[in-house]
Structure 1
Amino acid sequence: MLDTVIKNGRVVDGSGNPWFKADIGIKGEIIKKIGDLTSIESRKSIDAGGNIISPGFIDPHVHSDLLCTIPDIHKIKVLQGVTTELFGQDGISVAPVSEVTKPIWQKQLSGLNGDIGDWNWLSIDEYLSFLENSDIIGNAAYLVPHGGVRTLVMGFEGREATQEECVKMRELVEKGMRQGAIGISTGLVYPPNVFSNKEELIEICKGAAAYNGCFVVHIRNESIHSLEALEEVIDISRQSGARLHVSHFKIIGHKNRDKFSMALEKMEMARNEGIEVTFDQYPYSAASTVFQAILPPWVHAGGSLKMLERLRDSENRKRIEEDFASNTTFENWVLSCGWENIVITSVMTDQNKPLEGKTMVEIARSREQKPADAAFDLLLEERGNVAMTIHWGYEEDVELGLRHPLQSVGSDGIFGGKPHPRLYGTFPKVLSEYVRKKKILTIEQAVRRMTSAPAQMMRLKNRGLIKESYFADLVIFDPNKIEDKATFDHPLQRPIGIHDVFINGVHTVSQGNYTGTAAGKVIRRD
């Protein structure tokens, strides 16, 4: 007897092939049978009523590393069909740490990953064990964060590593891979990763490549020097042997948009050379990250406390403001996008909650300050724990990326305050806006970008496709009604049109509502 049979659906299996009619039978955690199952008994039967049955969506770029342990907060991911997430992004995450670096990372990451109290782990193995013993709704895989291993070897120093330090970092990456990570990540605009050179990155990526791991990277520049930054990571992949996945691919700033198609061509040329390159992208022309990312790298040297100390000094403020005006050697959000396109989305203190959802121009005007001074003061008042949204480009460029076969869909969602709507709407938006309304993608193409494409990049076994013996991570949705409801003004609105979600065979969303189950697994590298 089967546990569940899903009948009368149109199966979009994740491969990109056309949909087909079939029943799906679940036994325990797996898909046991696919076909005509009318004569087979089951404990539960669901009538899909002509709706789409797809594999569970896989989000290859998230910041759920801590808040995944609080189902009432994290449930928005499964309510939009996400069954698996990849943690440890941008080289800045929660393990490995030491007793010395842990409190620094806890402060530095609270605005990005949230706060669940003290961390009772140091190693990647201990962190993954913590997740395994927590109530997590969906499946989780992990990347070794570059910043974590760098600070274990050389603290938060703002300098290039020695060869000996690079070797020690590689050994720590290899240790993390043995403990279950599936690759390595870095964010080359974030401290302390921003201080690394290519030689350091090649060495640590060799540690991931030794275990068939991926190199997932927020490149060093996504605006003026984006092509050079992309070439840097392609060469790192070339020399290290680690396959390359570019995070939240985009080109920042209207004046730089001609580089978008050239960047796609660079990726295609790398693949023609034999370098495995892919990228993820969210379906919005606005980004979101920690507000302190607007600051030039020298301000971050030594960690967040040093950063705050520098912001109190008038001469440092003057120097930073000069950098904002003309310095193109770092990812200069202010220069590329302007203060009017930077929106504060999350703060920690009650006194500044009214600022959430306002641009820096509006905030500066209300405080009767220049935008730079308002920014410095806000960072000081919040001890650096501020998040922002930045409107960076054009819808046409988003569509260009979505059409590309190397693309997979990723949310880069950040919890807290008045977040970017991608946290609540990414996957339904692709299916409603770009499949049903604009017809930029077929439903089969879109589902492949949300399922088997990220599964292939992550080298997940038995996930990302609807096949017998695969894990029963499934989504049932109405292709005519699925739609994102989250907007920049009202981002905390759940999508519609997703009826049912199964995670490892467990009915996790029923008739559009979260059932309260926690059937997620930690997926460790074999």
Structure 2
Amino acid sequence: MIVKLRFFIGVALTFILFYSCSIPVRYDVLIKNGRIYDGSGNKSFVADIGINSDTIAFIGKIENAKAEVEIDANGLAVAPGFINMLSWAMESLIEDGKSQSDIRQGVTLEIFGEGLSMGPWTEKMKREEKEHQGDIKFNIEWTTLDEYLEFMVKKGVSTNVASFVGATTLRIHTVGYDDRPPTETELDSMRTLVRQAMEKGALGIGSSLIYAPAFYSSTEELIEICKEAAKYDGMYISHLRSEGNRLLESVDELIRISKESGIRAEIYHLKAAGKSNWFKLDSVIDKVDKARNEGLQITADMYNYTAAATDLNACMPPWVQEGGYKNWVKRLKEPGIRQKVIQEMKTSADDWENFYYAAGSSENIILVGFKNDSLKHLTGKTLAEVAEMRKKTPEETVIDLVIEDGSAVGAVYFLMSKENVEKQIALSWVSFGSDARSLASEGIFLKSSTHPRAYGNFARLLGKFVNGEKIIPLEEAIRKLTTLPATNLNPTWLLCPKKS
């Protein structure tokens, strides 16, 4: 069941617990004898749970009650539904609303909007979206973000959904794909779009600053649009401008945006990318802790793997991508530009995020997402393998694949250290997001591959890092999957329960 954001207090966040002194004679659902992890981080306890409609009516010892559905949870853990702080299921849920890869891991709320959101769109943006659709095809029956959510309500999906309005989407809507600052009129238009989205239930503003055209946004531009979201108690959440060579400067930028706009801020998928940058994580933690101690509300989320996933556009400088995909490909076909791009791919850079260089080797890049059916046989192969098959250099292969596929081509990059992943999991202010679509091991989803985080991010946390390596106790893990992200998104989403 999907509900609009204003109703999430009672529906999406099932850990909002209501205690009652009187026990109804009958419940819709009765869960007996389970060990309850309530999301507070406090010690678990054994109790019964009575549920009526979409409300937890009672928690405690329940005697002589009847229910339409009764579950004996003896020996089992019972917890609130998990929040996926970074979901890319906007399109996959249109194809298959069951959300199997997430809901089977315990996720009941999907959060969208990392830079791109499903509105507000112009007619031109709708046409471009249709042109870029891959295996999943759908008609665009909406213009604004809230209209998209209403579309999903009518369609019906198994999880709850909410979304940030994308800073990239706002920029394309008003400025287009050009590398230039917005005019004052354009900036006013962006402010208006933010206000409209926030009034219709957007969570705040989401940015993704390593990609064109988001890369072209200045800090000042982001501060201005965040000021509008802050008026509605929204959040700013960001894929930092750099997670590698300029990681520390990028954390400073996020903190500055929070401070100057008066908005809560979160770092998407916290990481130090590239072996030469792994040591920087301690400094990142120090910066965030200092900001929090000064009264700023700075948090982060993460996925529990040492490999990242994005597209091959992260291998190329933003200047060659200016103007959108068609202009990007047109430039890549020019021999002089092609050679310049190849040289920049092989060079460490501070002014853009070079995932190709950060990966250290073409063997550390796996190709997972193709639009062109003639290239799908390459799915799952490393870039090194495909380059060898084609008798080309890895750099040439990247360029050729982007041209041939009609898309930016999905890829997995091995960039992070296990030690840093474990250190991040233990941080009290870090929650979790898959950074993946919601999939199923059937149907159209079998046409492409994905990062294992789509099927395993939350299960891996509980199985490997909690039960196995005991990085944090289960009570703390459940808090970081439920109440922490909920109150980060909106401090009013958690109501203190009253014990009977």
> TM-score scaled by structure 1?
0.85
- 1:307 partner amino acid: W
Aligned match for 2:486, one of 441, 455, 466: 455
Aligned match for 2:222, one of 191, 201, 204: 201
Report the Cα distance in structure 2 between the residues aligned to 1:461 and 1:299, rounded to whole angstroms.
Answer: 44
Say which SS state the counterpart of residue 440 (structure 1) adopts: coil
1:360 counterpart residue number: 383
Question: 1:463-497 CA distances to partner (integer Å, 9 max, x unpaired)?
Answer: 6x89589xxxxxxxxxxxxxxxxxxxxxxxxxxxx
Say which SS state the counterpart of residue 257 (structure 1) adopts: helix
Aligned match for 1:257, one of 264, 278, 287: 278
1:432 matched to 2:457: no
Say which SS state the counterpart of residue 184 (structure 1) adopts: strand
2:358 counterpart residue number: 336
- After the TM superposition, which residues 487-502 of structure 1 pair with which residues of structure 2 at under 5 Å, given as runs? none
- After the TM superposition, which residues 83-482 of structure 1 pair with which residues of structure 2 at under 5 Å, given as runs? 83-89=108-114, 91-107=115-131, 110=133, 115-326=136-347, 327-338=349-360, 339-414=362-437, 417-459=448-490
Say which SS state the counterpart of residue 234 (structure 1) adopts: helix
Aligned match for 2:53, one of 28, 45, 51: 28
Offset at residue 300 of structure 1 (A): 1.5
Question: 1:386-413 CA distances to partner (integer Å, 9 max, x unpaired)?
Answer: 1111000210010010011011011111
Asked if the contact 1:189/1:219 (under 8 Å) is kept, the reply is yes
Question: 1:174-199 CA distances to partner (integer Å, 9 max, x unpaired)?
Answer: 11111110111000012211101111
Asked if the contact 1:185/1:216 (under 8 Å) is kept, the reply is yes
Say which SS state the counterpart of residue 101 (structure 1) adopts: helix
1:42 matched to 2:67: yes
Asked if the contact 1:288/1:390 (under 8 Å) is kept, the reply is yes
After TM superposition, the structure 1 stretch with the greater mean CA deviation from structure 2, 438-447 or 316-325, is 316-325
- 1:449 partner amino acid: K
Q: Which runs of 5+ in 1 are unaligned?
A: 470-526
Asked if the contact 1:9/1:21 (under 8 Å) is kept, the reply is yes
Asked if the contact 2:99/2:159 (under 8 Å) is kept, the reply is no
Asked if the contact 1:158/1:195 (under 8 Å) is kept, the reply is yes
Percent sequence identity is 35
Say which SS state the counterpart of residue 258 (structure 1) adopts: helix
Question: 1:200-251 CA distances to partner (integer Å, 9 max, x unpaired)?
Answer: 0000111110100000100000001100011011101100011001000001
Asked if the contact 1:13/1:466 (under 8 Å) is kept, the reply is no
- Cα 1:466/1:390, change in 2 over 3 Å: farther
Asked if the contact 2:244/2:273 (under 8 Å) is kept, the reply is yes
Q: CA RMSD in A?
A: 1.8
After TM superposition, the structure 1 stretch with the greater mean CA deviation from structure 2, 6-15 or 39-48, is 39-48
> TM-score scaled by structure 2?
0.90
Question: 1:91-122 CA distances to partner (integer Å, 9 max, x unpaired)?
Answer: 123211010222224445x46xx733221111
Report the Cα distance in structure 2 between the residues aligned to 1:74 and 1:437, rounded to whole angstroms.
Answer: 27
Asked if the contact 1:342/1:359 (under 8 Å) is kept, the reply is yes
Say which SS state the counterpart of residue 205 (structure 2) adopts: strand
Asked if the contact 2:94/2:138 (under 8 Å) is kept, the reply is no
- After the TM superposition, which residues 497-512 of structure 1 pair with which residues of structure 2 at under 5 Å, given as runs? none
- Cα 1:462/1:187, change in 2 over 3 Å: closer
Offset at residue 342 of structure 1 (A): 1.2
1:475 counterpart residue number: none
Report the Cα distance in structure 2 between the residues aligned to 1:20 and 1:7, rounded to whole angstroms.
Answer: 12
Offset at residue 165 of structure 1 (A): 2.2
Report the Cα distance in structure 1 between the residues aligned to 2:323 and 2:463, rounded to whole angstroms.
Answer: 45
Report the Cα distance in structure 2 between the residues aligned to 1:392 and 1:106, rounded to whole angstroms.
Answer: 32
Offset at residue 168 of structure 1 (A): 2.0
- Cα 1:138/1:123, change in 2 over 3 Å: same
Report the Cα distance in structure 1 between the residues aligned to 2:119 and 2:300, rounded to whole angstroms.
Answer: 24
1:76 matched to 2:101: yes
- 2:351 partner amino acid: T
Report the Cα distance in structure 2 between the residues aligned to 1:136 and 1:26, rounded to whole angstroms.
Answer: 21
Say which SS state the counterpart of residue 244 (structure 1) adopts: strand
Asked if the contact 1:167/1:203 (under 8 Å) is kept, the reply is no
Segments of 4+ moved more than 4 angstroms: 460-463, 465-469
Question: 1:134-182 CA distances to partner (integer Å, 9 max, x unpaired)?
Answer: 1211000110111111112111112222333223212211111111101
Offset at residue 361 of structure 1 (A): 1.0
Question: 1:324-360 CA distances to partner (integer Å, 9 max, x unpaired)?
Answer: 1223310011111132211101112222122111111
Report the Cα distance in structure 2 between the residues aligned to 1:144 and 1:264, rounded to whole angstroms.
Answer: 27
Question: In the comparison of the two structures, how many residue pairs are matched?
Answer: 464
Report the Cα distance in structure 2 between the residues aligned to 1:214 and 1:53, rounded to whole angstroms.
Answer: 30
- 2:83 partner amino acid: I
Asked if the contact 1:7/1:48 (under 8 Å) is kept, the reply is yes
- After the TM superposition, which residues 3-14 of structure 1 pair with which residues of structure 2 at under 5 Å, given as runs? 3-14=28-39
Asked if the contact 2:167/2:214 (under 8 Å) is kept, the reply is yes
Offset at residue 280 of structure 1 (A): 0.3
Report the Cα distance in structure 2 between the residues aligned to 1:332 and 1:73, rounded to whole angstroms.
Answer: 36
- Cα 1:147/1:462, change in 2 over 3 Å: closer
Q: Which runs of 5+ in 2 are unaligned?
A: 1-25, 440-444
Offset at residue 321 of structure 1 (A): 1.0
Question: 1:231-281 CA distances to partner (integer Å, 9 max, x unpaired)?
Answer: 011101100011001000001011111101110111111111111000001
